[in-house]
Amino acid sequence: MNSNHIDGKAVAARLREDVALTIASLSVTPTLAVVLVGDDPASQVYVGNKVKFSQAVGMNSVERRLPAETTEADVVETVRALNADPDVDGILVQLPLPAHIDSDRVIAEIDPDKDVDGLTEISAGRLSLGKPGLRPCTPTGCVILAKEALGDLSGKHCVIIGRSILVGKPAALLFLQQNCTVTVAHSRTDNLPVVCRGADILVSAVGRPNMVKGDWIKAGACVIDVGINRVADASRKSGSRLVGDVDFAEAEPVAGAITPVPGGVGPMTIACLLRNTVLAACARRDLPVPDGLSI
Protein backbone atom coordinates (compact mmCIF):
# COMPACT_ATOMS: atom_id res chain seq x y z
CA MET A 1 0.00 0.00 0.00
CA ASN A 2 1.32 3.46 -0.93
CA SER A 3 2.60 5.65 1.84
CA ASN A 4 -0.30 8.09 1.61
CA HIS A 5 -2.98 5.39 1.72
CA ILE A 6 -4.93 5.08 4.97
CA ASP A 7 -5.15 1.33 5.53
CA GLY A 8 -8.64 0.83 6.92
CA LYS A 9 -8.12 -2.92 7.19
CA ALA A 10 -5.10 -2.47 9.44
CA VAL A 11 -6.73 0.22 11.59
CA ALA A 12 -9.87 -1.91 11.96
CA ALA A 13 -7.76 -4.92 12.94
CA ARG A 14 -6.05 -2.87 15.68
CA LEU A 15 -9.42 -1.66 16.96
CA ARG A 16 -10.71 -5.25 17.08
CA GLU A 17 -7.59 -6.20 19.04
CA ASP A 18 -8.32 -3.41 21.53
CA VAL A 19 -11.91 -4.64 21.80
CA ALA A 20 -10.72 -8.20 22.43
CA LEU A 21 -8.26 -7.07 25.12
CA THR A 22 -10.99 -5.04 26.81
CA ILE A 23 -13.42 -7.95 26.77
CA ALA A 24 -10.77 -10.21 28.32
CA SER A 25 -10.40 -7.72 31.18
CA LEU A 26 -14.12 -7.40 31.94
CA SER A 27 -16.03 -9.42 34.51
CA VAL A 28 -18.87 -9.92 31.98
CA THR A 29 -18.98 -10.96 28.34
CA PRO A 30 -20.74 -8.41 26.11
CA THR A 31 -23.52 -9.76 23.91
CA LEU A 32 -24.50 -8.45 20.48
CA ALA A 33 -27.92 -9.38 19.08
CA VAL A 34 -28.59 -9.09 15.34
CA VAL A 35 -32.09 -9.18 13.83
CA LEU A 36 -32.29 -10.23 10.18
CA VAL A 37 -35.62 -10.30 8.34
CA GLY A 38 -35.78 -12.03 4.97
CA ASP A 39 -33.09 -13.53 2.77
CA ASP A 40 -31.47 -10.55 1.02
CA PRO A 41 -28.07 -11.90 -0.12
CA ALA A 42 -26.07 -8.80 0.82
CA SER A 43 -27.69 -8.67 4.26
CA GLN A 44 -26.89 -12.35 4.77
CA VAL A 45 -23.22 -11.62 4.11
CA TYR A 46 -23.17 -8.55 6.37
CA VAL A 47 -24.81 -10.39 9.25
CA GLY A 48 -22.48 -13.35 8.81
CA ASN A 49 -19.46 -11.04 9.04
CA LYS A 50 -20.81 -9.31 12.13
CA VAL A 51 -21.38 -12.64 13.86
CA LYS A 52 -17.94 -13.91 12.83
CA PHE A 53 -16.07 -10.86 14.08
CA SER A 54 -18.06 -10.60 17.30
CA GLN A 55 -17.18 -14.18 18.18
CA ALA A 56 -13.55 -13.64 17.18
CA VAL A 57 -13.12 -10.88 19.79
CA GLY A 58 -14.68 -13.01 22.54
CA MET A 59 -18.17 -11.53 22.42
CA ASN A 60 -21.40 -13.47 22.64
CA SER A 61 -23.53 -13.36 19.51
CA VAL A 62 -27.30 -13.78 19.29
CA GLU A 63 -29.12 -14.06 15.96
CA ARG A 64 -32.80 -13.62 15.33
CA ARG A 65 -33.46 -14.68 11.73
CA LEU A 66 -37.04 -14.10 10.66
CA PRO A 67 -38.71 -15.00 7.35
CA ALA A 68 -39.44 -12.24 4.84
CA GLU A 69 -43.19 -12.51 5.44
CA THR A 70 -42.83 -11.73 9.17
CA THR A 71 -45.24 -9.00 10.21
CA GLU A 72 -44.09 -5.62 11.44
CA ALA A 73 -45.69 -6.35 14.80
CA ASP A 74 -43.65 -9.54 15.17
CA VAL A 75 -40.40 -7.74 14.33
CA VAL A 76 -41.25 -5.07 16.91
CA GLU A 77 -41.96 -7.78 19.48
CA THR A 78 -38.59 -9.39 18.71
CA VAL A 79 -36.82 -6.10 19.38
CA ARG A 80 -38.78 -5.54 22.58
CA ALA A 81 -37.82 -9.00 23.83
CA LEU A 82 -34.14 -8.21 23.21
CA ASN A 83 -34.57 -4.88 25.03
CA ALA A 84 -35.88 -6.79 28.04
CA ASP A 85 -33.11 -9.41 27.99
CA PRO A 86 -30.55 -8.35 30.63
CA ASP A 87 -27.82 -10.39 28.95
CA VAL A 88 -28.08 -8.47 25.65
CA ASP A 89 -25.92 -5.33 25.48
CA GLY A 90 -26.29 -4.32 21.85
CA ILE A 91 -29.10 -4.67 19.31
CA LEU A 92 -28.69 -4.25 15.56
CA VAL A 93 -31.56 -4.53 13.10
CA GLN A 94 -30.11 -5.29 9.68
CA LEU A 95 -31.39 -2.92 7.01
CA PRO A 96 -33.08 -2.84 4.58
CA LEU A 97 -36.19 -4.51 5.97
CA PRO A 98 -38.86 -5.94 3.64
CA ALA A 99 -41.04 -3.26 2.02
CA HIS A 100 -44.11 -4.02 4.15
CA ILE A 101 -42.23 -3.15 7.38
CA ASP A 102 -41.73 0.45 8.54
CA SER A 103 -38.02 0.61 9.33
CA ASP A 104 -38.39 3.82 11.31
CA ARG A 105 -40.93 2.26 13.63
CA VAL A 106 -38.73 -0.80 14.23
CA ILE A 107 -35.61 1.28 14.88
CA ALA A 108 -37.56 3.49 17.27
CA GLU A 109 -38.27 0.43 19.42
CA ILE A 110 -34.58 -0.23 20.14
CA ASP A 111 -33.49 0.69 23.65
CA PRO A 112 -31.14 3.66 23.09
CA ASP A 113 -28.71 2.19 25.61
CA LYS A 114 -28.46 -0.88 23.36
CA ASP A 115 -28.57 1.05 20.05
CA VAL A 116 -25.12 0.07 18.78
CA ASP A 117 -25.88 1.46 15.31
CA GLY A 118 -26.66 4.87 16.84
CA LEU A 119 -29.81 5.21 14.73
CA THR A 120 -32.58 5.99 17.22
CA GLU A 121 -33.85 9.53 17.67
CA ILE A 122 -32.62 9.51 21.27
CA SER A 123 -29.12 8.48 20.15
CA ALA A 124 -29.15 11.27 17.56
CA GLY A 125 -30.32 13.73 20.21
CA ARG A 126 -27.57 12.71 22.61
CA LEU A 127 -25.00 13.23 19.87
CA SER A 128 -26.44 16.62 18.94
CA LEU A 129 -26.43 17.76 22.57
CA GLY A 130 -22.95 16.39 23.25
CA LYS A 131 -24.27 13.95 25.85
CA PRO A 132 -22.84 10.45 26.36
CA GLY A 133 -24.31 7.83 24.06
CA LEU A 134 -23.66 5.38 21.26
CA ARG A 135 -22.50 6.99 18.00
CA PRO A 136 -23.15 5.78 14.42
CA CYS A 137 -20.45 3.37 13.31
CA THR A 138 -19.43 4.65 9.87
CA PRO A 139 -19.01 8.32 10.91
CA THR A 140 -17.06 7.17 13.97
CA GLY A 141 -14.80 5.17 11.67
CA CYS A 142 -14.22 8.29 9.56
CA VAL A 143 -13.00 10.21 12.61
CA ILE A 144 -10.71 7.38 13.68
CA LEU A 145 -9.16 7.18 10.19
CA ALA A 146 -8.64 10.94 10.04
CA LYS A 147 -6.88 10.81 13.41
CA GLU A 148 -4.79 7.91 12.13
CA ALA A 149 -3.53 10.17 9.34
CA LEU A 150 -3.31 13.52 11.09
CA GLY A 151 -3.22 12.93 14.84
CA ASP A 152 -4.88 15.81 16.67
CA LEU A 153 -7.69 17.22 14.54
CA SER A 154 -8.17 20.41 16.54
CA GLY A 155 -8.43 23.48 14.31
CA LYS A 156 -8.63 21.51 11.05
CA HIS A 157 -11.21 22.55 8.46
CA CYS A 158 -13.37 19.51 7.69
CA VAL A 159 -15.65 19.61 4.64
CA ILE A 160 -18.28 16.88 4.48
CA ILE A 161 -20.04 16.30 1.17
CA GLY A 162 -23.44 14.81 1.99
CA ARG A 163 -26.05 15.57 4.63
CA SER A 164 -27.66 12.18 5.20
CA ILE A 165 -28.81 11.16 8.66
CA LEU A 166 -26.69 8.01 8.38
CA VAL A 167 -23.31 9.60 7.63
CA GLY A 168 -23.16 13.29 6.75
CA LYS A 169 -24.98 14.87 9.69
CA PRO A 170 -23.52 12.65 12.45
CA ALA A 171 -20.05 12.95 10.92
CA ALA A 172 -20.33 16.74 11.12
CA LEU A 173 -21.14 16.56 14.83
CA LEU A 174 -18.37 14.04 15.53
CA PHE A 175 -15.75 16.18 13.80
CA LEU A 176 -17.02 19.19 15.72
CA GLN A 177 -16.40 17.23 18.90
CA GLN A 178 -12.79 16.90 17.72
CA ASN A 179 -12.62 20.72 17.60
CA CYS A 180 -12.67 20.89 13.81
CA THR A 181 -14.26 23.73 11.89
CA VAL A 182 -16.93 21.91 9.88
CA THR A 183 -18.62 22.75 6.58
CA VAL A 184 -21.44 20.51 5.36
CA ALA A 185 -21.74 20.65 1.56
CA HIS A 186 -24.35 19.00 -0.65
CA SER A 187 -25.95 18.95 -4.09
CA ARG A 188 -27.18 22.54 -3.78
CA THR A 189 -23.87 23.99 -2.60
CA ASP A 190 -22.60 26.78 -4.84
CA ASN A 191 -19.06 26.36 -6.19
CA LEU A 192 -18.68 22.91 -4.61
CA PRO A 193 -15.14 22.33 -5.95
CA VAL A 194 -14.02 25.64 -4.40
CA VAL A 195 -15.55 24.71 -1.06
CA CYS A 196 -13.81 21.34 -1.14
CA ARG A 197 -10.43 22.91 -1.92
CA GLY A 198 -10.60 24.69 1.41
CA ALA A 199 -10.65 21.43 3.35
CA ASP A 200 -7.85 20.00 5.46
CA ILE A 201 -10.10 16.95 5.81
CA LEU A 202 -12.50 16.09 2.99
CA VAL A 203 -15.18 13.47 3.69
CA SER A 204 -17.32 12.37 0.76
CA ALA A 205 -20.54 10.45 1.41
CA VAL A 206 -22.82 11.02 -1.56
CA GLY A 207 -22.93 7.72 -3.47
CA ARG A 208 -21.83 9.13 -6.83
CA PRO A 209 -18.91 7.29 -8.42
CA ASN A 210 -15.75 9.31 -9.05
CA MET A 211 -17.52 12.62 -8.48
CA VAL A 212 -14.73 14.29 -6.52
CA LYS A 213 -11.89 15.15 -8.90
CA GLY A 214 -8.26 15.77 -8.17
CA ASP A 215 -8.56 19.53 -8.63
CA TRP A 216 -11.22 19.62 -5.88
CA ILE A 217 -8.59 18.69 -3.31
CA LYS A 218 -6.12 20.92 -1.52
CA ALA A 219 -2.55 19.65 -1.76
CA GLY A 220 -1.77 17.53 1.28
CA ALA A 221 -5.39 17.20 2.45
CA CYS A 222 -6.74 14.09 4.16
CA VAL A 223 -9.46 12.49 2.01
CA ILE A 224 -11.96 10.07 3.58
CA ASP A 225 -14.08 8.36 0.90
CA VAL A 226 -17.24 6.78 2.32
CA GLY A 227 -18.74 5.98 -1.08
CA ILE A 228 -19.08 2.39 -2.25
CA ASN A 229 -20.32 2.33 -5.84
CA ARG A 230 -20.38 -0.54 -8.32
CA VAL A 231 -19.46 0.41 -11.89
CA ALA A 232 -19.16 -1.63 -15.07
CA ASP A 233 -15.70 -3.00 -15.88
CA ALA A 234 -15.40 -5.40 -18.80
CA SER A 235 -11.85 -6.33 -17.73
CA ARG A 236 -13.16 -7.99 -14.55
CA LYS A 237 -14.57 -11.49 -14.47
CA SER A 238 -17.59 -10.16 -12.59
CA GLY A 239 -18.10 -7.42 -15.16
CA SER A 240 -17.92 -4.72 -12.50
CA ARG A 241 -15.77 -3.22 -9.75
CA LEU A 242 -16.16 -1.06 -6.67
CA VAL A 243 -15.15 2.59 -6.66
CA GLY A 244 -15.65 5.44 -4.24
CA ASP A 245 -17.09 8.92 -4.59
CA VAL A 246 -13.55 10.19 -5.15
CA ASP A 247 -11.74 9.77 -8.46
CA PHE A 248 -8.89 7.89 -6.83
CA ALA A 249 -6.47 8.06 -9.76
CA GLU A 250 -6.73 11.87 -9.81
CA ALA A 251 -6.89 12.39 -6.05
CA GLU A 252 -4.10 10.09 -4.93
CA PRO A 253 -1.19 12.25 -6.19
CA VAL A 254 -2.68 15.37 -4.58
CA ALA A 255 -3.83 14.12 -1.19
CA GLY A 256 -1.54 13.84 1.79
CA ALA A 257 -3.59 10.87 2.97
CA ILE A 258 -6.48 9.04 1.30
CA THR A 259 -8.69 6.02 1.95
CA PRO A 260 -8.89 3.46 -0.86
CA VAL A 261 -12.16 1.82 -1.92
CA PRO A 262 -12.45 -0.95 -0.98
CA GLY A 263 -10.23 -1.27 2.10
CA GLY A 264 -10.72 2.16 3.65
CA VAL A 265 -13.83 3.15 5.58
CA GLY A 266 -15.67 -0.14 5.00
CA PRO A 267 -13.70 -2.34 7.43
CA MET A 268 -14.11 0.29 10.16
CA THR A 269 -17.89 -0.05 10.32
CA ILE A 270 -17.97 -3.53 11.86
CA ALA A 271 -14.98 -2.74 14.10
CA CYS A 272 -16.84 0.31 15.45
CA LEU A 273 -19.96 -1.82 15.94
CA LEU A 274 -17.95 -4.15 18.17
CA ARG A 275 -16.52 -1.14 20.00
CA ASN A 276 -20.03 0.21 20.56
CA THR A 277 -21.19 -3.10 22.00
CA VAL A 278 -18.41 -3.04 24.57
CA LEU A 279 -19.14 0.60 25.39
CA ALA A 280 -22.82 -0.29 25.84
CA ALA A 281 -21.94 -3.19 28.12
CA CYS A 282 -19.76 -0.93 30.26
CA ALA A 283 -22.30 1.92 30.39
CA ARG A 284 -25.12 -0.41 31.42
CA ARG A 285 -23.01 -1.59 34.36
CA ASP A 286 -21.55 1.81 35.31
CA LEU A 287 -18.05 0.70 34.31
CA PRO A 288 -15.53 3.30 33.06
CA VAL A 289 -14.84 3.67 29.35
CA PRO A 290 -11.78 1.52 28.59
CA ASP A 291 -8.74 3.61 27.64
CA GLY A 292 -8.08 1.63 24.47
CA LEU A 293 -11.55 2.41 23.12
CA SER A 294 -11.55 6.18 23.57
CA ILE A 295 -11.42 8.38 20.49
Q: What is the C-alpha to C-alpha distance for residues 120 and 109, in angstroms, rounded to an integer?
A: 8
207 is in an annotated binding site: no
Q: What is the C-alpha to C-alpha distance for residues 143 and 244, in angstroms, rounded to an integer?
A: 18
Asked if residue 112 has a cis previous peptide bond (ω within 30° of 0), the answer is no
122 is in an annotated binding site: no
Q: What is the C-alpha to C-alpha distance for residues 39 and 45, in angstroms, rounded to an integer?
A: 10
What Rg do the C-alpha atoms of the chain give, in angstroms?
A: 19
Q: Is 263 helix (H, G, I), strand (E, B) or coil?
A: coil
CA distances from 276 to 16, 181, 270 (A): 11, 26, 10
CA distances from 154 to 4, 127, 151, 295 (A): 21, 19, 9, 13
Q: What residues are labeled active site?
A: 50, 94, 117
Beta-ladder partners of 224: 203
How many Cβ atoms are within 10 Å of 102's Cβ, its own excluded? Answer: 13
160 is in an annotated binding site: no
* Residue-by-residue DSSP string for 24-58: HHSSS--EEEEEEES--HHHHHHHHHHHHHHHHTT
| H or E, element range at 201 | strand 201-204
266 is in an annotated binding site: no
Q: Residues within the annotated binding site for NADP(+)? A: 162-164, 228
Residues that constitute the known binding site: 162-164, 228
